[in-house]
């Protein structure tokens, strides 16, 4: 898990423990995750919900470009069908258990429910609110490294080839149209989640 997460700027000791900065406040170096579902699209007989994802490294982060005073960012899209998202929801709920109700609440501490079955009207807005809670929980340090890794894996966050120094980093500053296998109208792989990491290579989900 730590090796996988480091490619996105998340610094972990193990599956359950974050690496603290050297005297630096958590919020000063933790990558900021943003998730939203602004729209959906019909493709054949299925509805695909357009998950917009982004990661931002604050200037103080060890992996941020030293010559820049602004945050570096990675943006991509991860269209998913409701059934795929529901599988991910069930996984998170099982892992978080009693903590689930503390994570999925709005600014007024009111419960934020998941989308209803059947793709009924209002599904997009409910998913938008649900993913907003998930990203807020990440940014507040409420999720352990394993859950962040599973989230990025579900969204197929793009990983690029190693740089000259041997490290693997997202193409910061680039806007990627889709992440991994999530081309609109093309179903993702049947197995969206692996129970443990390291995750299989991204090539395993292509073709």
Q: Which helix (H) or strand (E) holds 77?
A: strand 72-81
The percent of residues above 70 in pLDDT, for the chain, comes to 66
What's the burial of 81, exposed, middle or buried (CB within 10 Å: 0-12/13-18/19+)? middle
Give per-residue pLDDT as tens, 2-61: 889 988 888 888 898 887 655 455 666 788 999 999 998 888 888 999 999 999 887 666
Nearest-angstrom CA–CA distance, 79 and 39: 10
**Measured on CA atoms in the order 4, 10, 16, 19, is the torsion positive or negative?**
positive
pLDDT of residue 60: 60
Count CB atoms within 10 A of the CB of residue 128.
18
Give per-residue pLDDT as tens, 55-104: 988 766 666 555 454 557 889 999 999 999 999 999 999 999 999 999 99
Residue 132: strand, helix, or coil: helix
169-182 average pLDDT score: 41
* pLDDT at 166 exceeding the cut of 80: no
Residue 34 makes CB contacts below 8 A (sequence gap 6+) with: 52, 53, 54, 55, 56, 135
With beta carbons less than 8 A apart as the criterion, state whether 81 and 181 touch: no
126-138 average pLDDT score: 95
96-114 average pLDDT score: 90
User: Please, which pLDDT band fits residue 159 given cuts at 50, 70 and 90?
Assistant: confident
pLDDT-wise least confident of 50-54, 135-139, 187-191: 187-191
DSSP 189: P
With beta carbons less than 8 A apart as the criterion, state whether 188 and 84 touch: yes
pLDDT of residue 82: 93
């Amino acid at each position: 898990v730590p090796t996988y997460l480091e490619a996105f700027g998340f610094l972990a000791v193990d599956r359950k423990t974050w690496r603290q900065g050297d005297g630096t406040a958590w919020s000063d170096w933790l990558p900021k995750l943003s998730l939203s579902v602004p729209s959906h699209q019909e493709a054949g007989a299925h509805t695909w919900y357009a998950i917009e994802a982004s990661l931002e490294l604050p200037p103080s982060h060890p992996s941020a470009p030293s010559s820049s005073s602004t945050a570096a960012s990675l943006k991509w899209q991860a269209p998913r069908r409701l059934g795929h998202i529901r599988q991910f929801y069930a996984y998170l709920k099982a892992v978080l258990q009693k903590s689930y109700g503390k994570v999925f609440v709005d600014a007024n501490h009111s419960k934020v429910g998941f989308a209803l079955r059947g793709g009924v009207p209002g599904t997009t807005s409910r998913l938008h609110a649900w993913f907003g809670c998930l990203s807020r929980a990440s940014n507040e340090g409420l999720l352990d490294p394993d859950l962040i890794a599973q989230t990025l894996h579900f969204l197929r966050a793009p990983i690029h080839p190693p740089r000259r120094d041997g490290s693997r980093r997202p193409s910061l500053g680039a806007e990627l149209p889709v992440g991994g296998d999530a081309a609109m109208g093309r179903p993702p792989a049947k197995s969206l989640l692996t129970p443990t990491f390291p995750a299989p290579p991204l090539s395993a989900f292509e073709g």
